[in-house]
Amino acid sequence: MAASEWLRTFVAIYRAGSVTAGAALRGLSQPAASQHLSGLERNAGVPLFIRTATGVEPTRRGRELYAQVAEQLDHLEPVLVGLDGGPVATPPPSIRFGSSAEYFSFEVVPRFRPSGPAIVATFADDDELIELLERGELDIAVTSTTPGRRAVAATPIDTKEFVLVGAPKMMRTPRLTSRKQLASWLVGMPWVAYSAELPMTRRFWLSALARPFGGDLRLVAPDLRAVVKAVECGHGVSLLPTFVCSEELAEGRIVELFPVSAILPSEPWFACTRVGDLGRDHIKAFTQRLAAPRGG
């Protein structure tokens, strides 16, 4: 049995998360895939996966081996398929994509057609996404910060604008015409947020309102879609990126309380990839699609 076959099966199992699903990706029977994995583990001298009730989890050696071979095997796959007697022209490789759940829902899904490459999504914060990218477990990660890693390249693709919003009933207050009025009105107001740390909100209060955060934090939910719903239901004010609440604003279910776009800098979005993947056609095409307008 050629070592390349064992490695191809190993990569398929790693990406699929189970021997059975990995076998299906390779077009093998489950016993055949198990034999490939057993042979590779005997050769490595250590287990590459830990068997769990729901599939397999890679060991440290498994993660190291994957990072060493996955990229090279992806490049070689058309050649290997041809040597197997199959057609050299293969479907576009799947994209292992990482971002926040909200970004994926609002910005990725609308941009891609069912006929495009298969997408396997992972949701995590920026630091974890970059770690997964460096380990070879992701092909592209969209972050709000540059990775600062020599092996990772960051391509600017868009910017994130913010809006200060509340339920329509909050607009019954006197019209706010200055930052000073806004700051006075917001003190003690119920607040809804994505995290208790309030990084963007605290920055907004200090830089735009010239005072520490003075709202009454009433609800914290680590999902921006839940925060939008909480604002709509009247639980409090929030500072939100426009991409998660444009529909609610357009329909009047929530309202902009004060125009903050001129006093609050936007945040960039970066498509991060490993430097070695910059020349791969499907990675370049996917990144370009991310930078294109939705529906374009």
pLDDT tens for 22-35 read: 888 788 889 999 99
As its CATH architecture, domain 162-258 has 3-Layer(aba) Sandwich (3.40)
Q: Which long-range contacts (CB under 8 A, 24 or more apart) does 100-109 make?
A: 100/125, 100/224, 101/223, 102/223, 102/224, 102/225, 102/243, 102/244, 103/142, 103/243, 103/269, 105/225, 106/243, 106/244, 107/142, 107/158, 107/243, 107/290, 107/294, 108/142, 108/290
How many residues does this entry show for the chain? 296
Question: CA-CA distance, 196 to 234, in Å (whole number)?
Answer: 19
Residue 163 confidence (pLDDT): 95
Q: Which two tokens stand for residue 188?
A: 């003690």
Residue 83 has pLDDT above 70, yes or no: no
The residue that leads in pLDDT, 177 or 30, is 30
Domain range summary for the chain, segments of one domain joined by +? 3-83, 95-159+268-291, 162-258
Residue that has been written with the tokens 């990660």 in this structure? 141
Q: What is the pTM of this model?
A: 0.70
* Mean pLDDT on 214-227: 95
CB 133 within 8 A of CB 152: yes
Average model confidence (pLDDT) for the chain?
86
Tell me which of 3.40.190.10, 3.40.50.620, 1.20.59.20, 3.40.50.970 is the CATH number of domain 95-159+268-291: 3.40.190.10
| pLDDT band at residue 20 using 50, 70 and 90 as cut-offs | confident
* Mean pLDDT on 147-158: 85
* Mean pLDDT on 148-163: 88
Question: CA-CA distance, 232 to 168, in Å (whole number)?
Answer: 8
Give the gyration radius of the chain's Cα atoms.
Answer: 24
CB 176 within 8 A of CB 185: yes
- Vertex 51 angle, CA 50 and 57, to 5°: 50
Residue 173 confidence (pLDDT): 62
Residue 63 has pLDDT above 60, yes or no: yes
The predicted-structure confidence for 94-132, as pLDDT tens digits, reads as follows 788 999 999 999 999 988 877 778 898 999 999 999 988
Question: CA-CA distance, 242 to 46, in Å (whole number)?
Answer: 49
Residue 88 confidence (pLDDT): 41
Tell me which of 1.10.10.10, 3.30.300.180, 1.25.60.10, 3.90.960.10 is the CATH number of domain 3-83: 1.10.10.10
**Do 162-258 and 95-159+268-291 fall under one CATH topology?**
yes
Helix 3-16 vs helix 30-44: angle between axes, to the nearest 10 degrees? 110
The residue that leads in pLDDT, 143 or 26, is 143
Residue 174 confidence (pLDDT): 63
The residue that leads in pLDDT, 174 or 270, is 270
Residue 264 has pLDDT above 90, yes or no: no
